[in-house]
Amino acid sequence: MTLEDVHRIAVIGAGLMGHGIAQEFAVAGYEVSLVDTDAEVLAEAVDRIRANLRKMVELGLVDSAAAAAAPERIRATPEMAVAVADAGVVIEAASENLALKQRLFGEMDRLSRPDAILASNSSSFMPSEINTEVKNRGRVLVAHYFNPPHLLPIVEIVRGPETGDEAVETMRALLLRIGKHPAVVNKEARGFVGNRLQLALFREALSIVEQGIAGVEDVDTVMRYGFGRRLAAAGPFEIADAAGADLWAEVAANLWPHIAASTELPVFYEDMLSRGENGMKSGKGFHTWTPEAADATRDRIARSLAATSELLDG
């Protein structure tokens, strides 16, 4: 399978991530089959794609002609066999349930072209865990998008011990063609790269609040108006080189003994979760959320991501 052999993309699962992934390929000009066994989810996905595209036109990320054409390239169907029959790449975007993913990959393997790449959008399971029902495991990899997939350009391509070079290179070339920034993860590791870094930061943020060093609002403020902005422009190794690798080694030696290393959730976080305080979807989490405040924050995030994309990629 080479890039020239890929003409249709199939996306299995039309929920939070699946509809955005389908949208990306359709905007880039690919024919897309979007699959979900829940008719209501499938209908909502098409509506959400249209809403996403309206917002992207407003933000200047997509022109109106491309936004109008993209939904016409998406074939929504409950039938996996119909969707994957002529797809060069099949991307599973179902819920994070290992047994479900293993079953779906077994079906994808039986129903798809023998040369099609089979990818999972899993954020936690590795290819060697997902591919147990697949005969040709050389075509299985993880293509981990970040939410929202249509606004964040990164995709982690995770290869398993049996994943072939051709599958990795073709997936990488495909993602580059549609304007993404793929990063190849050469060795299976829980959390890949992005979530390992993200959760290391989150653990320390929780520890700072737990120790009373600073409150939730002030931790968010430091991140948003401090080095968070710098991280949009440069990675941690670039930043270390810019400041001086010797300086960063000294800082690390001084701070590492004091940085959190616990494998347990802090008590205050467990108490919050036990009260059902799950963030925007429940109206309260680390912050209190009215529907209006939640919408305003989502809009701010979208506009910030759009502005960053224009600055760094424009």
Please check whether residue 137 is in contact with residue 109, taking contact to mean a CB–CB distance below 8 angstroms. no
AA letter at 252: A
* Proportion of the chain in helix, strand, coil states, percent, rounded to 5: 55, 15, 30
- Annotation: CATH topology of 3-185: Rossmann fold (3.40.50)
Number of Cβ within 10 Å of residue 138's Cβ equals 16
Number of Cβ within 10 Å of residue 45's Cβ equals 25
71-75: long-range contacts at Cβ-Cβ below 8 A with a sequence spacing of 24 or more? 71/26, 71/46, 73/26, 73/29, 73/30, 73/31, 73/32, 74/22, 74/23, 74/26, 74/32, 74/33, 74/34, 74/46, 74/49, 75/31, 75/32, 75/33, 75/34
AA letter at 31: E
Question: What is the CA 310 to chain-centroid distance, rounded?
Answer: 20
- Annotation: CATH topology of 193-262: N-(1-d-carboxylethyl)-l-norvaline Dehydrogenase; domain 2 (1.10.1040)
Cα radius of gyration (the chain): 21
3-class SS of residue 86 = coil
Helix (H) or strand (E) holding 32: strand 31-35
Q: What pLDDT does 314 receive?
A: 54
Q: In the beta sheet, which residues pair with residue 156?
A: 144, 183
Rounded distance, CA 272 to CA 144, Å? 29
Q: What pLDDT does 153 receive?
A: 93
Look at strands 89-92 and 31-35 and give their pairing: unpaired
- 222-244 in b/e form (b: 16+ CB < 10 A) is eeeeeeeeeeeeeeeeeebeeee
Q: List the structure tokens of 175.
A: 């993602």
If the chain, 314 residues long, is cut into consecutive pieces of 10 residues, what is the mean pLDDT of each piece?
93 95 97 95 94 92 94 96 96 96 97 97 96 97 94 95 97 97 96 95 98 97 93 93 95 96 96 97 97 94 85 68
Rounded distance, CA 240 to CA 182, Å? 23
In a 13 Å sphere around the CA of 16, the CA atoms on its Cβ side amount to 9
Alpha-helical runs (H) found in 178-279: 194-210, 216-225, 227-231, 236-243, 245-255, 267-274
Q: In the beta sheet, which residues pair with residue 158?
A: 142, 185
pTM here is: 0.92
Q: What pLDDT does 305 receive?
A: 87
